[in-house]
Amino acid sequence: MASPSILDNYPDYEVNIGIEVHVQLNTKTKIFCRTANGTSQEPNTNICQVCCGYPGVLPVLNKKVVEYAILVGLATNSKISPKSFFARKHYFYPDLPKNYQITQGALPICTEGNIEIKLEDNRKKIIRLIRIHMEEDAGKSLHSNMSNESFIDLNRTGTPLLEIVSYPDISSSHEAKEYLKTLRSIVQYLGVCSGNMEEGAFRADTNISVRKKGATKLGTRCELKNINSFKFIGDAIEYEIERQITILEEGQQVIQQTRLWDEKNRKTILMRSKEEAADYRYFNDPDLPVVEVDQNWITNIKNSMPELPNQKFERFIKEGLSPYEADILVNDIELANYYESTHKLNNSKQVINWILRELLGYIKDSKITLLECKVTPEKLAKIVSLLESSKINNHAAKEVFDIVAETGENPETIIKERGLEQIGSIDELETIIKQIIDDNQKQVTQFKAGNEKLFGFFVGESMKRTKGKGNPHLIQELLKKYLNN
């Protein structure tokens, strides 16, 4: 079942979406100087003459950036160019001190890759990539609310970026979100990017055009810039599809523009009309040599490649998880790692149930991240093994989980201190159940006369008298035995 889309209202139309993603690489230093790569400090403290574009300085390429580009290229089935070049892209912006950005032009490091995404009906679709290129990030302009002033923070200048450009193969807002989620998990699995959208480490510009079905030429596109959540991107695409179709239906023409998503009013708004590539006067940067990549280097990087999301998915299925379970884990690398650490300590099938129900439920309710959660894989593995060895029952296990989550205490200490051990000895339970039967003769008579619902009453009494610590299975067995005597 496909999720509803505004396109359902316009069966004659189709949408073509191409996405440019900027991936901030988490190398130790910036792309063309030795300044530390990281922007969380005081403004303009994380800078040097190179990233500030002083006259006479020379950029030196960070080899790690090339390695990361090749890694992402290989993970997306791209061709790695044996030779590629850096180019200057000229534009004036206060946060770009050189008045040009160093990027790659006609010949980028990776070309013609592709990414496979999963559709809602579980079919797969290939989204082709035009190119992946390396470039430097610009600084940030900060506009004051208090005074009529603007400020510049250059900490971000020279942060290495990969720009990953797709063909307009994406044909719905749902596919766009799937594509971005898949790409984000790839760069996270490769360990080259945090994937944090709110901090701008993973930014998507979306090009959208609509056309009548069967038309051979693409419609005029509009670009949606820098939207920082998957949900907003989906909403903005839906809005933009309707806006463009309405224009065409009124006999007007769509004008090529860059637009922003206004979340408050839930619509896209004009940012600027689009520059043409010619306006940037690209030419090869004479300060930087050709980037040469030999086969040996590629092979070494290939051999160091970590497991990718789709490979992890297949492995989880082989190890006995359902596609539903595997999908939830794979989409969140921290959760997948959590599962694997827990599963290593306790290979019970119950582990996944506890993670998907108790752990995710707790994290969601208490609005914390997995890494902040006090129930570590070691502690969860322990709780599950105490449950499986009948040391505690399910009821007590949930109580222990909650206490660990609040306090971080050791499960075994909690059980000892609070007396949560399950009463599993038949003798002890037998005494309690005989007593219950003696005390409730009226109900016993009614039960024997055919009122079977009363069985629940006896179970309830037993749990009450064992303070919830009785082994439920044994209680049921014993009740059946004594009530039917």
Which residues of this protein are in contact with Zn ion, per CB under 5 A?
A: 33, 35, 48, 50-51
Residue closer to Zn ion, measured from CB, 50 or 210: 50
Rounded to a whole number of angstroms, the minimum distance from the CB of residue 48 to Zn ion is 3
Rounded to a whole number of angstroms, the minimum distance from the CB of residue 280 to Zn ion is 23
E strand spans, 105-158:
110-111, 114-118, 124-136, 140-143, 150-153
Rounded to a whole number of angstroms, the minimum distance from the CB of residue 30 to Zn ion is 5
Residue closer to Zn ion, measured from CB, 50 or 70: 50
Contacts with 121 (C-beta within 8 Å, 6 or more apart), sequence order: 1, 2
Calculate ∠ Cα 133-136-141, nearest 5°: 135
Rounded to a whole number of angstroms, the minimum distance from the CB of residue 71 to Zn ion is 24
Asked whether 239 and 267 are in contact (CB, 8 A), the reply is yes
Give how far the C-alpha of residue 247 lies from the chain's centroid of Cα atoms, to the nearest Å: 35
Rounded to a whole number of angstroms, the minimum distance from the CB of residue 35 to Zn ion is 3
Residue closer to Zn ion, measured from CB, 35 or 103: 35
User: Tokens standing for 242?
Assistant: 């309707």
Rounded to a whole number of angstroms, the minimum distance from the CB of residue 190 to Zn ion is 25
Residue closer to Zn ion, measured from CB, 35 or 159: 35
Residue closer to Zn ion, measured from CB, 154 or 352: 154
User: Tokens standing for 354?
Assistant: 């506890």
Residue closer to Zn ion, measured from CB, 97 or 424: 97
Asked whether 274 and 258 are in contact (CB, 8 A), the reply is yes
C-alpha–C-alpha distance, residues 280 and 92, integer Å: 10
Rounded to a whole number of angstroms, the minimum distance from the CB of residue 52 to Zn ion is 7
C-alpha–C-alpha distance, residues 203 and 180, integer Å: 10
C-alpha–C-alpha distance, residues 217 and 257, integer Å: 18
Instruction: Give DSSP secondary structure letters for 248-304.
Output: HHTT--PPPEEEEEETTTTEEEEEEEPPPGGGG--EE-TTS--EE--HHHHHHHHHT
- Of 419, 430, 348, 418, nearest to 389 (Cα)? 348
Residue closer to Zn ion, measured from CB, 75 or 138: 138
Residue closer to Zn ion, measured from CB, 54 or 93: 54
Rounded to a whole number of angstroms, the minimum distance from the CB of residue 40 to Zn ion is 16
